[in-house]
Amino acid sequence: APPLARRQNSTDWTAQEWDVIVVGAGTAGIIVADRLSEAGKKTMLLELGGPSYGIVGGTERPSWLDGTGLSRVDVPGLYKSIFSTPDSELLCPADVVSAFQACTIGGNSAINAGLYFQPPASDWDNYFPAGWKSADVEEATQRLLAKQPSVTSYSVDGKYYLQSGYDAAEEWLVKGAGFSHVSFNEEPNNKDRVFGRPVYNYIDGQRGGPTRTYLQSALKRSNFRLQTGVQVQRINHVGGVASSITAKVDGSIITVPLSRAGRVIVSAGAIASPGLLIHSGIGPSETLAKLSAAGFISNSNSSAWVANPAVGEGLFDNPNTYIELTGSTIESYAHSYDDPITADKDLYLSSRSGPYAFASQTSAFWGYVDNDDGSRTGVQGTIDSSGYADFTDNKTITLNIYGTSGLKSSGRVILSSEGKFIPGPSSDVYYNDPQDGMSIAKFIHTIFQALPASTPDSPAVAGLTPLNIAQNSTVEEIYTYITTWSKYAVGSVQHWSSSCRIGKCVDADTKVIGTMNIHVIDASIVSPLTVNPQFGVMVAAEKGSERVLKTWG
Ligand SMILES: Cc1cc2nc3c(=O)[nH]c(=O)nc-3n(C[C@H](O)[C@H](O)[C@H](O)COP(=O)(O)OP(=O)(O)OC[C@H]3O[C@@H](n4cnc5c(N)ncnc54)[C@H](O)[C@@H]3O)c2cc1C
């Protein structure tokens, strides 16, 4: 039987009262449930999706993984295949969120690339309120790293694979543009004109993350229970005092009660968490009135609602641009879901080594742009092993470049008006402040200047040539390119965050402002970071758990 069958608290779970009900067994929710159950709280972790990794019973896999105990989730090199399998059981159904997100054990940590970059201390110091500065989250960060270490050497044989793009990028950015070579997990605070190898959360050549670490310790406790296939529909509360949650399980509606002094922790992700609060009568008054008029808030006694205008406000995602690069030394590599090259498949299966031991990013780099108003905009580049869209010949690789911390643009979580009020992003998340596009354009312009003069028709002999945007473009031309929608620009990277910020939507204890015992701990409470969000989300889960436990007295 899969390890889930070992979970200890197996008496009727809807008839019991729980000290903690965590909504969503995703990246943050698993960590919170593990830490609160470790502290003795009777903890129920509710997840709407099903199994993912082999270790929790996941079986979605190509035939070459038959008999291995691995699912597609476990194999890092199958990362990109999720984008071409929209019917995957791992993804959220259309009536849950209007975005490309995972609804499965592990949440997005079960489908992401596994990039695991520690945010620089300046992110906490500049963009988080008192109680969440870098010194405040230091212990939480160390607890996280003790449970889930970071790796740059992903292949168990200790070698690096698919390195032609790495070598060319190093030549360009370190020798050409003067960036320094940095080991990102050893020097997380240095993000100013730095280049290096990606850092991952893999474990022994397989996907890591909370499911393989924190969930495994939680599953051993008798005061913990994970229940999958449970779609939480609302939190039942009067004036912010929650007593239970209502959920749909196998088509039936059930109620799960909280104990006295119990807490609901919403960890459904940056889009679904605000959605669940609003469906529970907690959010901007106007939105609540609209849902109520349509019969969508069952508790239609508006005096029981909690008006909190910041629920859903500030939703962020990195604005990104794909830049296709070619060069005479480049050998591109595209991972295959069904039919990998035999030698590569064998190398992975026999020793967790080779191209399938990583998600295809060969290098990463960062820089900041100083703006006239004194602010600083972070920019990140990640270089992949293959081309994309109209540029997929065997000498092309893709640079994904995006704006990060310090951006001024953000949107909000909106509820679709087509009758079901499904949460999704507003249309103005990217570049609604023109400064953002200008800062990123300036950065791209600067690094393009460090490339040889080169055009696709008459490429330089040595070095990389951009294919979809000219190497000699002006800042204005780059600005127009990156802010105009195409297959290469203004696409979503699905790094949703910041939709229920600390100090505005929740307090420093992660409690939703205006409520007594309802918390949000997930990407919603994390401000835009200089790095990919997962590491920061996990720190927030460690720190949030600590803060919640302290409020128990
Ligand atoms: C394709 C992709 C690639 C990415 N790559 C990277 C990367 O390489 N590195 C990185 O740092 N970040 C990456 N990210 C972003 C990162 O994975 C997320 O920021 C992070 O996982 C979010 O964690 P979370 O806890 O907020 O939510 P999630 O991990 O999304 O968890 C939310 C959970 O709540 C569940 N849920 C939602 N609603 C309900 C409900 N009503 N009832 C019950 N359960 C519910 C969902 O099923 C889900 O399991 C990527 C994201 C995507 C989509």
pLDDT exceeds cutoff 70 at 79: yes
pLDDT tens digits for range 106-149? 999 999 999 999 999 999 999 999 999 999 999 999 999 999 99
pLDDT tens digits for range 142-158? 999 999 999 999 999 99
| Spatial contact of 540 and 273, defined as CB atoms under 8 Å apart | no
| SS3 category, 478 | helix
Mutate to test the pocket of ligand 1, among 91, 96, 100, 108 (most ligand atoms within 8 A of CB): 108
pLDDT exceeds cutoff 80 at 298: no
Identify the pLDDT of residue 158.
97
pLDDT tens digits for range 184-215? 999 999 999 999 999 999 999 999 999 999 99
Distance 262 CA to ligand 1 centre (A): 25
Distance 326 CA to ligand 1 centre (A): 33
Spell out the long-range contacts of 153-157 with Cβ–Cβ below 8 A and sequence spacing 24 or more.
154/76, 154/200, 154/202, 154/205, 154/357, 154/358, 155/205, 155/352, 155/353, 155/354, 155/357, 155/358, 156/204, 156/205, 156/351, 156/352, 156/353, 156/357, 157/351, 157/353, 157/354
Identify the pLDDT of residue 542.
98
Average pLDDT of the residues in 285-306: 86
* Other residues' Cβ atoms within 10 Å of the Cβ of residue 323: 26
Distance 526 CA to ligand 1 centre (A): 13
Average pLDDT of the residues in 278-285: 97
The residues that bridge with 71 in the sheet, in sequence order, are none
507/445 Cα distance (integer angstroms): 41
Which ligand 1 atom lies nearest to the CA of residue 105?
A: 49
Distance 141 CA to ligand 1 centre (A): 19
Output the known binding site. Answer: 232, 533-534
Decide: pTM greater than 0.80. yes
Distance 107 CA to ligand 1 centre (A): 4
| Spatial contact of 179 and 376, defined as CB atoms under 8 Å apart | no
| Spatial contact of 540 and 267, defined as CB atoms under 8 Å apart | no
Q: Report which protein residue has its CA nearest ligand 1's atom 21.
A: 108
Q: CA torsion 83→84→88→94, rounded to 10°?
A: 70
Main-chain phi, psi angles of 306, to 5 degrees: -120, 115
Residue 82: left if φ>0, alpha if ψ -120 to 50, beta else—which one? alpha
Which ligand 1 atom lies nearest to the CA of residue 114?
A: 8
Distance 269 CA to ligand 1 centre (A): 6
| pLDDT band of 229, cuts 50, 70, 90 | very high
Q: Report which protein residue has its CA nearest ligand 1's atom 5.
A: 112
Nearest to 472 by CA among 490, 442, 445, 491: 445
Distance 13 CA to ligand 1 centre (A): 25
Which ligand 1 atom lies nearest to the CA of residue 29?
A: 25
Handedness of CA 69, 71, 76, 81 (dihedral sign): positive
| pLDDT band of 5, cuts 50, 70, 90 | very low
Distance 108 CA to ligand 1 centre (A): 3
Domains and CATH numbers, the chain: 159-204+318-406+432-492 (3.30.410.10)
| pLDDT band of 419, cuts 50, 70, 90 | confident
Beta 361-370 vs 376-384: how paired, if at all?
A: antiparallel
For residue 54, give both structure tokens. Answer: 């082999």
Distance 439 CA to ligand 1 centre (A): 28
For residue 493, give both structure tokens. Answer: 């990277």
Contacts of 519 (CB under 8 A, 6+ apart): 263, 264, 265, 266, 506, 509, 510, 511, 512, 544, 548
pLDDT exceeds cutoff 70 at 2: no
**What's the DSSP call for residue 203?**
B
pLDDT tens digits for range 444-457? 999 999 999 999 99
Distance 306 CA to ligand 1 centre (A): 26
pLDDT exceeds cutoff 70 at 11: no
| Spatial contact of 263 and 514, defined as CB atoms under 8 Å apart | no
Mean pLDDT of the chain: 95
Which ligand 1 atom lies nearest to the CA of residue 534?
A: 11
Which ligand 1 atom lies nearest to the CA of residue 533?
A: 11
pLDDT tens digits for range 255-269? 999 999 999 999 999
Output the known binding site for FAD. Answer: 232, 533-534
* Other residues' Cβ atoms within 10 Å of the Cβ of residue 544: 28
Q: Report which protein residue has its CA nearest ligand 1's atom 27.
A: 269
Identify the pLDDT of residue 224.
96
pLDDT exceeds cutoff 70 at 6: no
Distance 48 CA to ligand 1 centre (A): 13
Distance 426 CA to ligand 1 centre (A): 18
- How many residues are given for the chain? 553
Which ligand 1 atom lies nearest to the CA of residue 104?
A: 49
Q: Report which protein residue has its CA nearest ligand 1's atom 48.
A: 107
For residue 467, give both structure tokens. Answer: 């294919």
Angle between helices 475-483 and 434-449 (to 10 degrees): 120
Which ligand 1 atom lies nearest to the CA of residue 100?
A: 53
- E strand segments, 327-464: 361-370, 376-384, 396-403, 411-415, 423-425
**What's the DSSP call for residue 100?**
S
Mutate to test the pocket of ligand 1, among 100, 400, 495, 510 (most ligand atoms within 8 A of CB): 495
Which ligand 1 atom lies nearest to the CA of residue 526?
A: 26
Q: Please state which of the ranges 7-16, 363-372, 529-538 shows the lowest mean pLDDT.
A: 7-16
Average pLDDT of the residues in 62-67: 98
* Other residues' Cβ atoms within 10 Å of the Cβ of residue 453: 11
Q: Report which protein residue has its CA nearest ligand 1's atom 3.
A: 112
**What's the DSSP call for residue 136?**
H
330/165 Cα distance (integer angstroms): 6
Identify the pLDDT of residue 148.
98
Q: Report which protein residue has its CA nearest ligand 1's atom 47.
A: 103
pLDDT exceeds cutoff 60 at 3: no
Amino acid (one-letter) located at 329 = T
Contacts of 26 (CB under 8 A, 6+ apart): 47, 102, 106, 107, 108, 109, 267, 268, 269, 522
89/78 Cα distance (integer angstroms): 15
Which ligand 1 atom lies nearest to the CA of residue 92?
A: 47
Identify the pLDDT of residue 435.
97
| Spatial contact of 185 and 199, defined as CB atoms under 8 Å apart | yes
| SS3 category, 424 | strand
Residue recorded with tokens 């009660």: 257
The pocket around ligand 1, CB under 6 angstroms, is made up of 23-29, 46-49, 96, 100-104, 107-109, 111-115, 230-232, 267-270, 272, 276, 494-495, 522-523, 532-535, 537
Q: Report which protein residue has its CA nearest ligand 1's atom 23.
A: 27
Q: Report which protein residue has its CA nearest ligand 1's atom 49.
A: 107
Identify the pLDDT of residue 8.
45
Amino acid (one-letter) located at 156 = V
